[in-house]
Structure 1
């Protein structure tokens, strides 16, 4: 049996093919969980699942092409995961997209897309796993918000709206589902070096971002994944409705900081 803090647990990780999601998938498998890798990026997601299964010599991960904004896709994903690995006990609602835009010029199609992926996706995910978790005595839902879900930043009015919404939904769901042993918490990463952030400026953006972080570096996906392991494990059994920043200290300041 593989040692680890998540042995015997079954997890779904959305946006699990690349970046932060892939790091979470790897960390979950390393800690003993069986993982459904859910993403629209089929080639990358399948390659990751194949790699992890080959390393383990067993089916420890399975890729499923999944649209988080589609309710039917959620139902199929949860049913398939329950059948293949067992009841879902961890949901990492990690999938998200970032589009910058000013109030007066934000493209409305991009705004709607961010709503569907960043906000509607986690809502549908929570609803899809709640019945399974309730039936099986509980579970852990981890919703990806952002530092832009804790404070505002120019150019992120639409993006921030979705991330503040995730923060609010998390707290409401924590109250509703806690009585069934289901914990719901939100994670608020700062600037993390992933394909999603690199597309907006590459190395120059990373260097600028690092200059604004008290630790003077941007985060890596591997900095975030251990928090997801902790929140998915029984070690966090009394943490519910919390918002946890993992940002190198960015939100530990005020308007005169930096």
Structure 2
């Protein structure tokens, strides 16, 4: 097995948020990292802040464009010689009532959230196969496991990605390639802070056994675990990293109150 200083991760959607947190975690563990994002200026600014120029490759690309995906994988191989882990994190969300979602909205969400991970994996898997194996982590969502309002395109794309994960695991396992998915629940990202009102946050807390939002660093920990040697017999899994949100039905606030008063 390669030591961490030899290992290479390719992280999409790496300019900010969970992608940046994951890339940072890999770097902290001694990996070299190819960071890919469509937001080139934001990505370059983030990489400058990391101060890891010799161990980072900047890739500006749209994951739904097969030509740019192939070029990005070639650049990564040329720079680092291998790819041990692929994190398919790039994604977009268009939140609208179902009857207001246009075909253009639907098509773009599917292209990035579902076709993107398909294309990235198709491009990276032959390299992993030839080098003896690797690990792929797809970032789906709790919205792919539980339906909610305003998410007809986003939730459906993430549900598709959860099943794509299982298909990839079933067919790539013989090459030593493991494929798993993380399904984040409510996470305290900059976007959540901007759009989740106190009322929305209270609603989420009411249905999360741990009674709080997750942290990007906690999700990055799970992703890096699934890419590492300690998870060597785990594949084909969709793991909800959500504070228990997916496991819980209605009535949690009332039950908490009864417990406190008993």
Could you tell me whether the CA contact under 8 Å between 1:97 and 1:196 is conserved in 2? Answer: no
Please list every run of at least 4 consecutive aligned residues from structure 1 whose deviation after the TM superposition is greater than 6 angstroms.
Answer: none
Q: Displacement, 1:257?
A: 4.8
Long gaps (5+) in structure 1: none
Once the two structures are superposed, what CA deviation does each residue of 1:172-228 show, in whole Å capped at 9, x if it has no partner? Answer: 110100000000001100011224444534666445433432222111211100011
- Once the two structures are superposed, the pairs formed by residues 156-195 of structure 1 within 5 Å of their partners are 156-195=151-190
Could you tell me whether the CA contact under 8 Å between 1:6 and 1:233 is conserved in 2? Answer: no
**Structure (1 or 2) with the greater helix fraction:** 2
Matched, 1:67 2:85: no
**SS, match of residue 59 in structure 1:** helix
Q: Displacement, 1:87?
A: 0.8
**SS, match of residue 179 in structure 1:** helix
What is the TM-score with the length of structure 1 in the denominator? Answer: 0.91
**SS, match of residue 104 in structure 1:** helix
Match of 1:18 in 2: 16
More deviation in 185-194 or 171-180?
185-194
Could you tell me whether the CA contact under 8 Å between 1:101 and 1:155 is conserved in 2? Answer: yes
- Once the two structures are superposed, the pairs formed by residues 30-69 of structure 1 within 5 Å of their partners are 30-52=28-50, 54=51, 56=52, 59-69=54-64
Q: Displacement, 1:15?
A: 0.4
Could you tell me whether the CA contact under 8 Å between 1:198 and 1:206 is conserved in 2? Answer: no
Could you tell me whether the CA contact under 8 Å between 2:206 and 2:252 is conserved in 1? Answer: no
Q: Give RMSD over aligned pairs.
A: 2.0
Could you tell me whether the CA contact under 8 Å between 1:198 and 1:205 is conserved in 2? Answer: no
| Distance of 2:192 and 2:13 partners within structure 1 | 14
Q: Displacement, 1:47?
A: 1.9
Match of 2:122 in 1: 127
Assess, with a 3 A threshold, how the Cα gap between structure 1 residues 207 and 257 changes in structure 2: closer, same or farther.
closer
Please identify the structure whose Cα radius of gyration is greater: 2
Assess, with a 3 A threshold, how the Cα gap between structure 1 residues 198 and 125 changes in structure 2: closer, same or farther.
farther
